[in-house]
Each structure stands twice: as structure tokens, then as C-alpha cells.
Amino acid sequence: MKKVLVKIKGIQGLDDDKAVIELSTEGTLRRFEDEYIITYSEDQTVEGSKIKTQLTVKDCGTVVLERRGDLNSRLIITEGERNNCLYAIPQGSLTLGIYGKEVKSNMTEHGGTVKMVYTIDVNLEPLSENTVEITVEER
């Protein structure tokens, strides 16, 4: 397990109503047989919240984004596929459809980048289109 700097840039929304989110935080990077696991805290994204994130980047082109804490979710993003995923907040939970438009990664044991472009829908009604670029650098 290596300590790394994780830089995240996300663009989310529909049509002309888009928001940009940027975050830099410390995390860890681990390599397993066919995947890389990046773990970091998102505590500073929402004041007072406690959220731990684990991003599993699989060699097969799938990314699993899991959040635990004040927000619980498990999003599976695979290029060209739609997956149903659970999203839970204190007020309740719902099932989201996640369609992977693009999943690209050049991760190595020293770091790299992951880019995901995906749509989120609720009951097949579009909720948002998201582009997330994550850069991982050794500390």
C-alpha cells in the first residue's frame, strides 16, 4: 500500500446546467491481481460529513465507486453497459441506473489516471451526465 495524492475533477449535470467539482486529498493505492484500489476521504466536500471512498479500477475496464459514511453508494461503471446501483442517504435510498459511456485507465503501481463518462437515470429518466477524471500521484 502506497500513500498517494488523489486529484479529482468532476463535471455533472444536464444540458447547460452543469456543476464542476474539484478535490485534492491524500489517499492510498493498492495493487491486486487484476485491479487497483484507491482509497480516500471526501470529508471536505460537504462540511461536517464523514465519507470514505474506495475506487476499484479493474483491468477489464470496469470501475466500482463505493462510498461509506454519511452517504452510502456502490456505483458500477462499465463502458457500454447499464448497471443498477444503490444510493443511500439518511433520508432514504433509491436505485439508480448507471450507463458507462467511456471508461479509460492507465493505472500502474506508481499512479496514473482514470477517466469515466457516465449517465445516471432514475426509472429510466435522465438525472445527469458525469465526467470524472482522477489523477493519482505517489507522495
* Domain ranges for the chain: 2-138
Please check the confidence at residue 48 and state whether its pLDDT lies above 70. no
pTM: 0.90
Helix (H, G, I), strand (E, B) or coil at 30: strand
Query: What would the grid cell of residue 16 be?
Result: 447547460
State pLDDT tens for residues 72-126.
899 999 999 999 998 887 788 889 999 999 999 999 999 999 999 999 999 889 9
Which has the closest alpha carbon to 136: 48, 64, 39?
A: 39
pLDDT in the model for residue 70: 81
E strand or H helix at 77: strand 72-78
**Averaged pLDDT of the chain:** 92
Neighbours of 15 (CB within 10 A): 7
State pLDDT tens for residues 53-65.
999 999 888 999 9
Please check the confidence at residue 23 and state whether its pLDDT lies above 60. yes
Single-letter residue type at 106: N
Give Cα separations from 81 to 64, 78, 108 (angstroms): 13, 6, 25
On whether the 2-138 domain is CATH 2.40.128.20, my answer is: yes
pLDDT in the model for residue 46: 54
Query: What would the grid cell of residue 4 be?
Result: 498517494
pLDDT in the model for residue 128: 95
Q: Which residue has the cell 470496469?
A: 62
